[in-house]
Structure 1
Amino acid sequence: MSSSNGGIRVVVADDHVVFAEGLRYILEDAGFAVVGVAGDCRAAAVLVRDQQPDLAVLDVHMPGGSATALVRRVKEDSPSTRIAMLSMQASSRRVAELEDLGIAAYLSKVVDAATLCSVLTAAVHSSGGGTIRVVPGVVDAPHPPVALRAGDRELLEHIAAGRSNKWIARELFVSEATVKRRLAEVYRELGASTRAGAISRAHQLGLIRHDHGTP
Protein backbone atom coordinates (compact mmCIF):
# COMPACT_ATOMS: atom_id res chain seq x y z
CA MET A 1 0.00 0.00 0.00
CA SER A 2 1.03 3.55 -0.63
CA SER A 3 2.20 5.87 2.11
CA SER A 4 0.76 9.15 0.79
CA ASN A 5 -2.01 10.43 -1.43
CA GLY A 6 0.45 10.84 -4.28
CA GLY A 7 1.03 7.09 -4.35
CA ILE A 8 -2.57 5.92 -3.89
CA ARG A 9 -3.79 4.44 -7.17
CA VAL A 10 -7.57 4.72 -7.54
CA VAL A 11 -10.25 3.34 -9.83
CA VAL A 12 -13.47 5.37 -9.91
CA ALA A 13 -16.80 3.88 -11.02
CA ASP A 14 -20.05 5.81 -11.39
CA ASP A 15 -22.65 5.77 -14.16
CA HIS A 16 -23.18 9.55 -13.92
CA VAL A 17 -20.42 10.91 -16.16
CA VAL A 18 -20.41 14.42 -14.70
CA PHE A 19 -20.14 13.10 -11.13
CA ALA A 20 -17.42 10.61 -12.10
CA GLU A 21 -15.34 13.28 -13.80
CA GLY A 22 -15.87 15.66 -10.90
CA LEU A 23 -14.71 12.96 -8.51
CA ARG A 24 -11.65 12.33 -10.67
CA TYR A 25 -10.80 16.04 -10.53
CA ILE A 26 -11.24 16.18 -6.73
CA LEU A 27 -9.04 13.13 -6.17
CA GLU A 28 -6.31 14.17 -8.57
CA ASP A 29 -6.29 17.67 -7.09
CA ALA A 30 -5.74 16.06 -3.67
CA GLY A 31 -2.81 14.03 -4.99
CA PHE A 32 -4.42 10.66 -5.68
CA ALA A 33 -3.51 8.88 -8.91
CA VAL A 34 -6.75 8.00 -10.75
CA VAL A 35 -5.83 5.11 -13.05
CA GLY A 36 -9.23 4.66 -14.66
CA VAL A 37 -12.93 5.56 -14.66
CA ALA A 38 -15.76 3.12 -15.37
CA GLY A 39 -19.49 3.64 -15.88
CA ASP A 40 -21.00 0.28 -14.96
CA CYS A 41 -20.35 -2.77 -12.79
CA ARG A 42 -18.86 -4.94 -15.51
CA ALA A 43 -16.44 -2.27 -16.70
CA ALA A 44 -15.49 -1.48 -13.11
CA ALA A 45 -14.70 -5.13 -12.37
CA VAL A 46 -12.50 -5.42 -15.47
CA LEU A 47 -10.72 -2.15 -14.70
CA VAL A 48 -9.93 -3.21 -11.14
CA ARG A 49 -8.74 -6.62 -12.31
CA ASP A 50 -6.41 -5.06 -14.88
CA GLN A 51 -5.11 -2.14 -12.79
CA GLN A 52 -4.93 -3.76 -9.31
CA PRO A 53 -5.39 -0.34 -7.65
CA ASP A 54 -4.91 0.49 -3.99
CA LEU A 55 -8.50 1.77 -3.83
CA ALA A 56 -11.74 1.31 -5.75
CA VAL A 57 -14.34 4.06 -5.26
CA LEU A 58 -17.63 2.57 -6.43
CA ASP A 59 -21.17 3.88 -6.78
CA VAL A 60 -23.68 1.66 -4.99
CA HIS A 61 -26.21 1.86 -7.85
CA MET A 62 -24.81 1.18 -11.33
CA PRO A 63 -26.06 -0.78 -14.34
CA GLY A 64 -24.57 -4.16 -15.13
CA GLY A 65 -24.92 -5.85 -11.76
CA SER A 66 -25.43 -5.41 -8.05
CA ALA A 67 -23.16 -3.65 -5.59
CA THR A 68 -22.70 -6.82 -3.54
CA ALA A 69 -21.73 -8.86 -6.60
CA LEU A 70 -19.26 -6.16 -7.65
CA VAL A 71 -17.65 -6.05 -4.21
CA ARG A 72 -17.27 -9.83 -4.20
CA ARG A 73 -15.73 -9.74 -7.70
CA VAL A 74 -13.26 -6.99 -6.76
CA LYS A 75 -12.21 -8.87 -3.63
CA GLU A 76 -11.68 -12.04 -5.63
CA ASP A 77 -9.76 -10.44 -8.51
CA SER A 78 -7.76 -7.88 -6.51
CA PRO A 79 -7.60 -8.88 -2.82
CA SER A 80 -5.34 -6.00 -1.79
CA THR A 81 -7.66 -3.33 -3.22
CA ARG A 82 -9.58 -1.43 -0.54
CA ILE A 83 -13.17 -0.61 -1.46
CA ALA A 84 -15.11 2.59 -0.75
CA MET A 85 -18.79 2.77 -1.67
CA LEU A 86 -20.61 6.01 -2.51
CA SER A 87 -24.37 6.54 -2.47
CA MET A 88 -26.94 9.34 -2.51
CA GLN A 89 -29.36 7.25 -0.47
CA ALA A 90 -28.62 4.44 1.93
CA SER A 91 -30.65 2.20 4.17
CA SER A 92 -29.09 0.79 7.32
CA ARG A 93 -29.72 -2.69 5.88
CA ARG A 94 -27.76 -1.93 2.69
CA VAL A 95 -24.91 -0.35 4.61
CA ALA A 96 -24.69 -3.34 6.97
CA GLU A 97 -24.80 -5.79 4.06
CA LEU A 98 -21.82 -4.15 2.36
CA GLU A 99 -19.95 -3.73 5.63
CA ASP A 100 -20.28 -7.49 6.19
CA LEU A 101 -18.49 -8.01 2.86
CA GLY A 102 -15.50 -6.10 4.21
CA ILE A 103 -15.62 -2.74 2.46
CA ALA A 104 -13.27 -0.13 3.91
CA ALA A 105 -15.60 2.87 3.71
CA TYR A 106 -19.20 3.85 3.00
CA LEU A 107 -19.82 7.51 2.24
CA SER A 108 -22.72 9.70 1.25
CA LYS A 109 -22.24 11.60 -2.00
CA VAL A 110 -23.18 14.79 -0.15
CA VAL A 111 -20.00 14.86 1.96
CA ASP A 112 -17.61 17.70 1.20
CA ALA A 113 -14.44 17.12 -0.81
CA ALA A 114 -12.12 17.47 2.18
CA THR A 115 -14.01 14.85 4.20
CA LEU A 116 -14.12 12.54 1.18
CA CYS A 117 -10.36 12.68 0.66
CA SER A 118 -9.66 12.33 4.37
CA VAL A 119 -11.84 9.22 4.68
CA LEU A 120 -10.45 7.63 1.51
CA THR A 121 -6.91 8.15 2.74
CA ALA A 122 -7.80 6.56 6.08
CA ALA A 123 -9.57 3.69 4.32
CA VAL A 124 -6.43 2.83 2.36
CA HIS A 125 -4.03 3.09 5.29
CA SER A 126 -6.19 1.57 8.02
CA SER A 127 -4.83 -1.83 9.00
CA GLY A 128 -7.64 -2.76 11.35
CA GLY A 129 -11.03 -4.21 10.54
CA GLY A 130 -14.29 -2.30 10.28
CA THR A 131 -15.81 0.16 7.86
CA ILE A 132 -15.44 3.92 8.05
CA ARG A 133 -19.01 5.16 7.73
CA VAL A 134 -19.86 8.77 6.90
CA VAL A 135 -23.53 8.69 5.96
CA PRO A 136 -25.87 11.32 7.43
CA GLY A 137 -29.05 9.68 8.68
CA VAL A 138 -27.55 6.20 8.93
CA VAL A 139 -25.81 6.05 12.27
CA ASP A 140 -24.98 3.60 15.00
CA ALA A 141 -26.71 3.62 18.37
CA PRO A 142 -26.40 7.02 20.08
CA HIS A 143 -23.43 7.63 22.35
CA PRO A 144 -23.21 9.86 25.41
CA PRO A 145 -21.46 13.23 25.02
CA VAL A 146 -17.77 12.90 24.16
CA ALA A 147 -15.19 14.50 26.44
CA LEU A 148 -11.73 14.35 24.87
CA ARG A 149 -8.59 15.44 26.65
CA ALA A 150 -5.90 17.77 25.32
CA GLY A 151 -4.05 16.05 22.50
CA ASP A 152 -6.77 13.51 21.75
CA ARG A 153 -7.87 15.27 18.58
CA GLU A 154 -4.29 15.24 17.37
CA LEU A 155 -4.22 11.47 17.90
CA LEU A 156 -7.43 11.12 15.90
CA GLU A 157 -5.98 13.19 13.06
CA HIS A 158 -2.88 11.01 13.02
CA ILE A 159 -4.85 7.76 12.74
CA ALA A 160 -7.17 9.31 10.13
CA ALA A 161 -4.06 10.09 8.08
CA GLY A 162 -3.07 6.44 8.27
CA ARG A 163 -0.11 6.87 10.59
CA SER A 164 1.12 3.88 12.59
CA ASN A 165 1.44 3.81 16.37
CA LYS A 166 5.22 3.71 15.93
CA TRP A 167 5.14 6.85 13.75
CA ILE A 168 2.89 8.67 16.22
CA ALA A 169 5.10 7.71 19.16
CA ARG A 170 8.17 9.07 17.40
CA GLU A 171 6.36 12.30 16.46
CA LEU A 172 5.05 12.90 20.00
CA PHE A 173 8.23 11.76 21.80
CA VAL A 174 6.41 9.09 23.80
CA SER A 175 6.56 5.31 23.90
CA GLU A 176 4.51 3.16 21.55
CA ALA A 177 2.84 1.64 24.62
CA THR A 178 1.70 5.14 25.66
CA VAL A 179 0.19 5.71 22.22
CA LYS A 180 -1.68 2.40 22.42
CA ARG A 181 -3.00 3.24 25.89
CA ARG A 182 -4.14 6.73 24.88
CA LEU A 183 -5.81 5.45 21.72
CA ALA A 184 -7.63 2.78 23.73
CA GLU A 185 -8.96 5.52 26.03
CA VAL A 186 -10.06 7.61 23.03
CA TYR A 187 -11.80 4.60 21.47
CA ARG A 188 -13.72 3.99 24.71
CA GLU A 189 -14.76 7.65 24.89
CA LEU A 190 -16.01 7.52 21.30
CA GLY A 191 -17.74 4.16 21.80
CA ALA A 192 -15.53 2.54 19.15
CA SER A 193 -13.52 -0.67 19.13
CA THR A 194 -11.47 -0.20 15.94
CA ARG A 195 -9.63 2.57 14.11
CA ALA A 196 -12.33 2.59 11.45
CA GLY A 197 -15.04 3.01 14.07
CA ALA A 198 -13.14 5.80 15.81
CA ILE A 199 -12.57 7.65 12.53
CA SER A 200 -16.26 7.29 11.59
CA ARG A 201 -17.38 8.65 14.96
CA ALA A 202 -14.83 11.48 14.87
CA HIS A 203 -16.08 12.58 11.46
CA GLN A 204 -19.70 12.47 12.65
CA LEU A 205 -18.78 14.73 15.57
CA GLY A 206 -16.59 17.08 13.55
CA LEU A 207 -13.54 16.24 15.66
CA ILE A 208 -11.10 15.85 12.76
CA ARG A 209 -9.71 18.82 10.87
CA HIS A 210 -9.28 18.35 7.14
CA ASP A 211 -5.95 20.15 6.81
CA HIS A 212 -3.82 17.44 8.37
CA GLY A 213 -0.98 16.17 6.24
CA THR A 214 0.01 12.72 5.15
CA PRO A 215 2.82 10.57 6.54
Structure 2
Amino acid sequence: MRAVIADDTLITREGLAFLLADAGLDVVGAASDGAALLRLVAEYRPDVAIVDIRMPPTYRDEGIVAAREIRRDYPGTAVLILSQYLEPAYAMRMLTDYPERTGYLLKERVNELAVLTDALRRLSEGETVVDPTIVARLMHRPRPDGALDALTPRERDVLACVAEGLTNEGIGARLFISERTVESHVANVFDKLGLTASTHSHRRVLAALLYLRETRQ
Protein backbone atom coordinates (compact mmCIF):
# COMPACT_ATOMS: atom_id res chain seq x y z
CA MET A 1 0.00 0.00 0.00
CA ARG A 2 1.36 3.41 -1.02
CA ALA A 3 0.83 6.31 1.37
CA VAL A 4 1.47 10.03 1.67
CA ILE A 5 1.50 12.02 4.91
CA ALA A 6 0.57 15.65 5.57
CA ASP A 7 1.34 17.29 8.92
CA ASP A 8 2.97 20.60 9.74
CA THR A 9 5.12 19.06 12.49
CA LEU A 10 8.32 17.40 11.29
CA ILE A 11 8.53 14.95 14.18
CA THR A 12 4.96 13.78 13.53
CA ARG A 13 5.64 13.25 9.82
CA GLU A 14 8.80 11.31 10.51
CA GLY A 15 7.18 9.29 13.28
CA LEU A 16 4.24 8.31 11.08
CA ALA A 17 6.55 7.46 8.20
CA PHE A 18 8.59 5.19 10.48
CA LEU A 19 5.49 3.42 11.83
CA LEU A 20 4.03 2.88 8.38
CA ALA A 21 7.29 1.65 6.91
CA ASP A 22 7.64 -0.75 9.84
CA ALA A 23 4.17 -2.06 9.01
CA GLY A 24 5.18 -2.70 5.41
CA LEU A 25 3.62 0.36 3.74
CA ASP A 26 5.44 2.37 1.09
CA VAL A 27 5.54 6.03 2.17
CA VAL A 28 6.10 7.85 -1.12
CA GLY A 29 5.95 11.41 0.18
CA ALA A 30 5.36 13.77 3.09
CA ALA A 31 4.07 17.34 3.11
CA SER A 32 3.76 20.16 5.63
CA ASP A 33 0.72 21.88 4.10
CA GLY A 34 -2.33 21.22 1.97
CA ALA A 35 -0.92 22.52 -1.30
CA ALA A 36 2.13 20.28 -1.07
CA LEU A 37 -0.10 17.34 -0.17
CA LEU A 38 -2.20 17.83 -3.31
CA ARG A 39 0.94 17.90 -5.44
CA LEU A 40 2.09 14.62 -3.92
CA VAL A 41 -1.26 12.96 -4.54
CA ALA A 42 -1.31 14.17 -8.16
CA GLU A 43 2.20 12.83 -8.73
CA TYR A 44 2.08 9.48 -6.93
CA ARG A 45 -1.65 8.57 -6.85
CA PRO A 46 -1.24 6.82 -3.45
CA ASP A 47 -3.67 4.31 -1.99
CA VAL A 48 -4.12 6.46 1.11
CA ALA A 49 -3.39 9.99 2.30
CA ILE A 50 -3.00 10.63 6.03
CA VAL A 51 -3.93 14.24 6.70
CA ASP A 52 -3.82 16.48 9.76
CA ILE A 53 -6.84 18.79 10.01
CA ARG A 54 -4.96 21.94 11.05
CA MET A 55 -2.10 23.02 8.81
CA PRO A 56 -0.61 26.29 7.51
CA PRO A 57 -1.39 29.02 6.82
CA THR A 58 -4.39 29.51 9.14
CA TYR A 59 -4.25 26.25 11.14
CA ARG A 60 -8.01 25.85 10.92
CA ASP A 61 -9.35 23.38 8.37
CA GLU A 62 -6.73 23.28 5.61
CA GLY A 63 -6.48 19.52 6.00
CA ILE A 64 -10.22 19.06 5.53
CA VAL A 65 -10.19 21.26 2.44
CA ALA A 66 -7.32 19.25 0.93
CA ALA A 67 -8.96 15.95 1.91
CA ARG A 68 -12.18 16.94 0.15
CA GLU A 69 -10.26 17.74 -3.02
CA ILE A 70 -8.49 14.40 -2.87
CA ARG A 71 -11.71 12.43 -2.48
CA ARG A 72 -13.35 14.45 -5.26
CA ASP A 73 -10.51 14.34 -7.79
CA TYR A 74 -8.83 11.04 -6.89
CA PRO A 75 -11.58 8.60 -5.85
CA GLY A 76 -9.11 5.72 -5.68
CA THR A 77 -7.18 7.42 -2.87
CA ALA A 78 -8.54 6.88 0.63
CA VAL A 79 -8.15 9.64 3.23
CA LEU A 80 -7.46 9.21 6.94
CA ILE A 81 -7.95 12.50 8.79
CA LEU A 82 -6.06 12.97 12.05
CA SER A 83 -6.77 15.50 14.78
CA GLN A 84 -5.23 16.29 18.12
CA TYR A 85 -8.63 17.41 19.40
CA LEU A 86 -12.11 15.91 19.43
CA GLU A 87 -13.85 17.74 16.58
CA PRO A 88 -16.97 15.79 15.51
CA ALA A 89 -18.18 18.60 13.24
CA TYR A 90 -15.12 18.23 11.01
CA ALA A 91 -15.61 14.47 10.82
CA MET A 92 -19.25 14.83 9.87
CA ARG A 93 -18.54 17.42 7.18
CA MET A 94 -16.20 15.04 5.43
CA LEU A 95 -18.07 11.79 5.98
CA THR A 96 -21.38 13.21 4.85
CA ASP A 97 -20.04 14.24 1.44
CA TYR A 98 -17.52 11.43 0.94
CA PRO A 99 -18.51 8.49 3.14
CA GLU A 100 -16.52 5.72 1.49
CA ARG A 101 -12.73 5.51 1.88
CA THR A 102 -12.78 8.27 4.49
CA GLY A 103 -11.74 7.97 8.13
CA TYR A 104 -11.25 10.16 11.20
CA LEU A 105 -9.00 9.25 14.13
CA LEU A 106 -7.55 11.14 17.05
CA LYS A 107 -3.78 11.44 16.83
CA GLU A 108 -3.33 9.42 19.98
CA ARG A 109 -4.55 6.37 18.05
CA VAL A 110 -1.58 6.39 15.71
CA ASN A 111 0.61 5.27 18.59
CA GLU A 112 -1.18 1.93 18.37
CA LEU A 113 0.26 0.44 15.19
CA ALA A 114 -2.39 -2.29 14.94
CA VAL A 115 -5.18 0.30 15.14
CA LEU A 116 -3.55 2.48 12.50
CA THR A 117 -2.84 -0.31 10.02
CA ASP A 118 -6.30 -1.81 10.51
CA ALA A 119 -7.88 1.58 9.80
CA LEU A 120 -5.82 2.01 6.64
CA ARG A 121 -6.71 -1.47 5.43
CA ARG A 122 -10.42 -0.85 5.97
CA LEU A 123 -10.26 2.49 4.18
CA SER A 124 -8.47 0.97 1.19
CA GLU A 125 -11.30 -1.58 0.98
CA GLY A 126 -13.94 1.18 0.80
CA GLU A 127 -15.00 1.28 4.46
CA THR A 128 -15.38 4.28 6.72
CA VAL A 129 -13.55 4.53 10.05
CA VAL A 130 -14.61 6.81 12.91
CA ASP A 131 -12.71 7.19 16.17
CA PRO A 132 -14.52 5.31 18.96
CA THR A 133 -14.14 8.36 21.22
CA ILE A 134 -16.35 10.34 18.85
CA VAL A 135 -18.90 7.53 18.70
CA ALA A 136 -18.95 7.27 22.50
CA ARG A 137 -19.40 11.04 22.87
CA LEU A 138 -22.27 11.09 20.40
CA MET A 139 -23.99 8.11 22.00
CA HIS A 140 -24.51 9.99 25.26
CA ARG A 141 -26.00 13.14 23.74
CA PRO A 142 -29.75 13.67 24.03
CA ARG A 143 -31.54 13.55 20.69
CA PRO A 144 -35.08 13.83 19.29
CA ASP A 145 -37.03 10.79 18.17
CA GLY A 146 -35.82 9.39 14.87
CA ALA A 147 -35.17 6.33 12.79
CA LEU A 148 -32.98 4.75 15.45
CA ASP A 149 -35.95 4.39 17.79
CA ALA A 150 -37.04 1.36 15.76
CA LEU A 151 -33.87 -0.49 16.82
CA THR A 152 -33.58 -2.72 19.85
CA PRO A 153 -30.87 -1.87 22.43
CA ARG A 154 -28.70 -4.70 21.09
CA GLU A 155 -29.15 -3.50 17.51
CA ARG A 156 -28.10 -0.02 18.61
CA ASP A 157 -24.99 -1.50 20.22
CA VAL A 158 -24.19 -3.30 16.98
CA LEU A 159 -24.78 -0.14 14.93
CA ALA A 160 -22.46 1.83 17.23
CA CYS A 161 -19.76 -0.73 16.49
CA VAL A 162 -20.47 -0.46 12.76
CA ALA A 163 -20.01 3.32 13.09
CA GLU A 164 -16.55 2.69 14.50
CA GLY A 165 -15.73 0.63 11.41
CA LEU A 166 -15.58 -2.75 13.15
CA THR A 167 -16.05 -5.92 11.13
CA ASN A 168 -18.69 -8.49 12.12
CA GLU A 169 -15.92 -10.51 13.75
CA GLY A 170 -14.76 -7.45 15.68
CA ILE A 171 -18.31 -6.64 16.77
CA GLY A 172 -18.80 -10.19 18.01
CA ALA A 173 -15.62 -9.98 20.08
CA ARG A 174 -16.63 -6.58 21.49
CA LEU A 175 -20.16 -7.64 22.44
CA PHE A 176 -19.42 -11.29 23.29
CA ILE A 177 -21.81 -12.70 20.70
CA SER A 178 -21.28 -15.00 17.73
CA GLU A 179 -20.48 -13.68 14.28
CA ARG A 180 -23.67 -15.25 12.97
CA THR A 181 -25.68 -13.35 15.59
CA VAL A 182 -23.93 -10.16 14.55
CA GLU A 183 -24.87 -10.82 10.91
CA SER A 184 -28.50 -11.21 11.95
CA HIS A 185 -28.46 -7.96 13.93
CA VAL A 186 -26.78 -6.07 11.08
CA ALA A 187 -29.37 -7.37 8.61
CA ASN A 188 -32.15 -6.23 10.96
CA VAL A 189 -30.57 -2.80 11.27
CA PHE A 190 -30.36 -2.41 7.49
CA ASP A 191 -33.98 -3.49 7.14
CA LYS A 192 -35.31 -1.17 9.86
CA LEU A 193 -33.34 1.78 8.53
CA GLY A 194 -34.58 1.14 5.00
CA LEU A 195 -31.12 0.49 3.58
CA THR A 196 -31.67 -1.86 0.67
CA ALA A 197 -28.82 -3.57 -1.16
CA SER A 198 -27.34 -1.47 -3.95
CA THR A 199 -24.29 -1.60 -6.16
CA HIS A 200 -24.02 2.18 -5.85
CA SER A 201 -23.85 2.51 -2.08
CA HIS A 202 -22.27 0.82 0.89
CA ARG A 203 -24.93 0.01 3.46
CA ARG A 204 -22.51 -0.15 6.40
CA VAL A 205 -21.27 3.34 5.57
CA LEU A 206 -24.78 4.69 5.15
CA ALA A 207 -25.93 3.11 8.41
CA ALA A 208 -22.92 4.57 10.23
CA LEU A 209 -23.63 8.03 8.84
CA LEU A 210 -27.28 7.85 9.81
CA TYR A 211 -26.28 6.82 13.31
CA LEU A 212 -23.77 9.64 13.65
CA ARG A 213 -26.17 12.25 12.29
CA GLU A 214 -28.97 11.30 14.68
CA THR A 215 -26.81 10.89 17.78
CA ARG A 216 -25.07 14.24 17.30
CA GLN A 217 -28.29 16.22 17.29
TM-score by length of 1: 0.63
The alpha-carbon deviation at position 77 of structure 1 amounts to: 3.3
The alpha-carbon deviation at position 183 of structure 1 amounts to: 5.6
Alignment coverage as a number of residue pairs: 164
CA distance in 2: counterparts of 1:45 and 1:89, whole angstroms: 24
Gaps of 5+ in 2: 141-151, 159-165, 172-178, 196-202, 209-217
- Say whether residues 1:123 and 2:116 are aligned partners: no
The alpha-carbon deviation at position 156 of structure 1 amounts to: 2.4
| Counterpart selection for 2:80 from 84, 92, 107 | 84
Identical-pair percentage = 27
**Structure 1 residues 51, 95: closer, same or farther in 2, change over 3 A?**
same
Runs of 4+ in structure 1 over 3 Å off: 137-140, 142-147, 181-184, 188-199
**Structure 1 residues 157, 136: closer, same or farther in 2, change over 3 A?**
closer
Aligned to 1:164: none
CA distance in 1: counterparts of 2:207 and 2:18, whole angstroms: 28
Task: For CA contacts below 8 A with separation 6 or more, give which structure has more relative contact order.
Answer: 1
CA distance in 2: counterparts of 1:133 and 1:116, whole angstroms: 12
- Say whether residues 1:105 and 2:100 are aligned partners: no
**Structure 1 residues 48, 138: closer, same or farther in 2, change over 3 A?**
same
SS of the aligned residue for 1:31 comes to: coil
The answer to whether the 8 Å contact 2:64/2:90 transfers is no
| Counterpart selection for 1:69 from 44, 65, 70 | 65
The answer to whether the 8 Å contact 1:61/1:67 transfers is yes
| Counterpart selection for 1:30 from 23, 26, 37 | 23
**Structure 1 residues 38, 135: closer, same or farther in 2, change over 3 A?**
farther
SS of the aligned residue for 1:79 comes to: coil
- Say whether residues 1:141 and 2:135 are aligned partners: no
Gaps of 5+ in 1: 1-7, 148-152, 159-178, 200-215
Aligned to 1:53: 46
Q: CA RMSD in A?
A: 3.5
The alpha-carbon deviation at position 40 of structure 1 amounts to: 0.6
TM-score by length of 2: 0.63
The alpha-carbon deviation at position 118 of structure 1 amounts to: 0.9
Aligned to 1:16: 9
**Structure 1 residues 144, 100: closer, same or farther in 2, change over 3 A?**
same
1:86-133 alpha-carbon deviations (Å, 9 max, x no partner): 01113222221121231511001111221111111111113x5xx310
